[in-house]
Amino acid sequence: MAKEYPRTQRVRQLLKEEISRLLQRDVKDARIGTVTVTGVEVTRDLRHATVHVNVAGDDARKSEALEGLSSAAGFLRSRLGRELTIRRVPELRFKLDRTQEHAARISELLAEVKNSEEHRDGEDTN
């Protein structure tokens, strides 16, 4: 894994905070709705940023929100250029953060394993 530099860390955090703020206050696209920025990855040269977002709802709703975010990327980038004191504002790409979905699925699988073990143990004692 590549070493992350303090400047990259600072830019990541700044982008996360500012994009979150802009999405709440300034972006009026109805497709976006309520979106939570969960993280930002920035390339070492700071030219590209992947913004991880969490969107409540079904897959159609999530897809719609991603379209709205992609559409608003230019606006967000120009506003970031005005708000932040960085030389170059990275190009923004939005990606769904499926961490919570994966965690829920793992919990379901563990519960199934536990139930099957309890059921099997109950049969062994009889």
Cα angle, residue 117 at apex, residues 115 and 119 outer, rounded to 5°: 70
CA distance 48 to 83: 18
Report the side by side order of strands in the sheet with 35-42.
Answer: 35-42, 48-55, 91-96
Q: For residue 36, what are the CA distances in angstroms to 20, 72, 96, 126?
A: 7, 15, 10, 51
pTM over 0.85: no
pLDDT tens for 55-111 read: 988 889 999 999 999 999 999 999 999 998 888 899 999 999 888 777 888 998 998
**DSSP for 11-53?**
HHHHHHHHHHHHHHHT---TTT-SEEEEEEEE-TTSSEEEEEE
Q: Which of the four pLDDT bands, split at 50, 70 and 90, describes residue 118?
A: confident
| Contact call for residues 21 and 37 (beta carbons, < 8 A) | no
pLDDT tens for 32-59 read: 988 999 999 999 999 999 999 999 888 8
Q: Which domains does the chain have, with CATH numbers?
A: 6-97 (3.30.300.20)
Helices 6-25 & 59-83, crossing angle to 10 degrees?
Answer: 110
| Contact call for residues 71 and 96 (beta carbons, < 8 A) | no
CA distance 61 to 51: 18
